[in-house]
Amino acid sequence: MEKVEGKLPRGSEEAFGRILNRDLFLFLLDLEVKRARRYQNFLCLMLFKIKQFSKEDNGGGLKACYQTLSDLLMEEIRESDIIGSLELDRLVVLLPYADVKAGTYVQSRFEDVLKYYDFKSKGVEIMIDQVCFPVNGSDTMDLIKWALRIEQS
């Protein structure tokens, strides 16, 4: 086991614990999509985009928001869920075995929890979307393209 762990890249921010970097997250996403296809299961991606609308603090609000959101996600998700960092302003949570209905429930729950955090005072806003397999795509690339389409809008 030690040999395998030594070869895996560490998360983008070691202080965040279970948050994976982009490459490792995409690798695990591909494995989960293949498993979901093989066993005819669902999976859902929750996309958290941190949108900065105030440039007054030179990115300090963005970093603080990223840290707060990371901590919140680590507290709220199940042990089987996987958190990844796509960029400094994007986090993604992979929910294995979650269909559209479960994804909508989780999204609603996160939106309710985020109401209690004052991100707007830090000049940022959190936008949450979801992409589900097989509804939004039948393979990893389809899901990634769908997710990127959502993030650009």
Give the HSE-up count for residue 17: Cα atoms under 13 Å, Cβ half-sphere: 9
Q: Cα–Cα distance between 36 and 38 in angstroms, integer?
A: 6
pTM comes to 0.80
Q: Cα–Cα distance between 125 and 52 in angstroms, integer?
A: 6
Q: Which residues contact 35 (CB under 8 A, 6 or more apart)?
A: 41, 96
Q: What is the pLDDT of residue 17?
A: 58
Q: What is the pLDDT of residue 151?
A: 64
Q: Which residues contact 140 (CB under 8 A, 6 or more apart)?
A: 26, 29, 30, 33
The per-residue pLDDT for range 81-138, each reduced to its tens digit, is: 999 988 778 899 999 999 999 999 999 999 998 888 878 877 888 999 999 999 988 8
The per-residue pLDDT for range 9-48, each reduced to its tens digit, is: 444 444 345 789 999 999 999 999 999 999 999 999 999 9
Give the HSE-up count for residue 71: Cα atoms under 13 Å, Cβ half-sphere: 7
Note the helical H segments in the chain: 2-7, 22-39, 60-76, 100-114, 140-152
The answer on pLDDT for 5 being more than 60 is no
Q: Is the peptide bond prior to 134 cis by the omega test (within 30 degrees of 0)?
A: yes
